[in-house]
């Protein structure tokens, strides 16, 4: 992990780290670099891809619509709302 990669991740996640926080994250990754490299060296060529850690498949439901949730209860969770909409800072 280098500073450019970290800054790209910050931008993608809409985060803004201080220089000190960046240093802490970079130090965290640097301390584990040998571990990552050891993992990369493991030969997984013949290992079948594990799809999921749980031995469950086909957890599905029937296509039946239920009663809607209360809009008022949901909008009560919104920082701001207006005319039945969630209201957020302008994005365009």
Residue 17 sits in the site that holds another protein (CB under 8 A): no
Measured CA to CA, the distance from residue 83 to residue 81 in angstroms comes to 7
Which CB atom, from 46 or from 69, has the smaller least distance to another protein? 69
For the bound state, the minimum distance from the C-beta of residue 12 to another protein, rounded and expressed in Å, comes to: 6
C-alpha 50: how far from chain center: 21
Q: Which residues of 26-47 are buried (b: 16+ CB within 10 A; e: fewer)?
A: eeeeeeeeeeeeeeeeeeeeee
Measured CA to CA, the distance from residue 6 to residue 25 in angstroms comes to 8
Residue 79 sits in the site that holds another protein (CB under 8 A): no
Residue 47 sits in the site that holds another protein (CB under 8 A): no
Which CB atom, from 37 or from 62, has the smaller least distance to another protein? 62
Q: Report the interface residues with another protein, using CB under 8 A.
A: 12-14, 51-54, 56-66, 68-69, 71, 74-75, 77, 80, 82-92
């Amino acid at each position: 992990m280098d500073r450019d990669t970290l800054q790209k991740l910050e931008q993608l996640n809409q985060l803004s780290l201080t220089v000190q926080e960046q240093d802490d994250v970079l130090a965290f990754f640097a301390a584990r670099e040998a571990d990552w490299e050891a993992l990369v060296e493991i030969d997984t060529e013949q290992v079948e891809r594990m799809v999921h850690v749980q031995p469950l498949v086909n957890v599905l439901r029937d296509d039946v619509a239920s009663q809607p949730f209360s809009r008022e209860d949901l909008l009560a969770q919104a920082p701001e709302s207006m005319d039945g909409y969630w209201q957020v800072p302008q994005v365009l």
